[in-house]
Amino acid sequence: MYNDKEIEVLANKIAEIVIKRIEERQDEMEQEFNEKVEQMTAEGFDVKTTVVSNKEVFMSILGDLQKALEKAIDEEDYQLASLINSKIDQIKLDIDESDV
């Protein structure tokens, strides 16, 4: 079994990987969206866009972490679940701060 420090390091790495993948996918989707908007504008469509807020990004990350938490609980890995829950609490604080 892993000790607390090893689990914390693992949880931090998982969180970093999840966040990195979300950011990468967000960049890809943004590029695809911009290309489609440019194409539609060139074809004469009147396109209006909306910017995604930090809160929406945090909410997306929160959803992924909650899924990871459920999986850890299902697998009875309560130490990992505890660390993921700590990350969820931090994201919730970040969401609250983004409202300011």
The confidence score (pLDDT) of residue 8 equals 85
Region 4-28: mean pLDDT is 87
Confirm if 92 and 48 have CB atoms less than 8 A apart.
no
The confidence score (pLDDT) of residue 98 equals 64
| 100 has pLDDT over 60 | no
User: Rounded to an integer, what distance in angstroms lies between the CA atom of residue 67 and that of residue 54?
Assistant: 20
User: Rounded to an integer, what distance in angstroms lies between the CA atom of residue 49 and that of residue 43?
Assistant: 16
Kindly report, residue by residue over 31-73, the tens digit of the pLDDT.
888 888 888 888 887 766 666 677 788 888 889 999 999 999 9
> CA-CA distances (angstroms) from residue 41 to 35, 36, 86?
10, 8, 45
| Higher per-residue confidence, 89 vs 51 | 89
The confidence score (pLDDT) of residue 73 equals 94
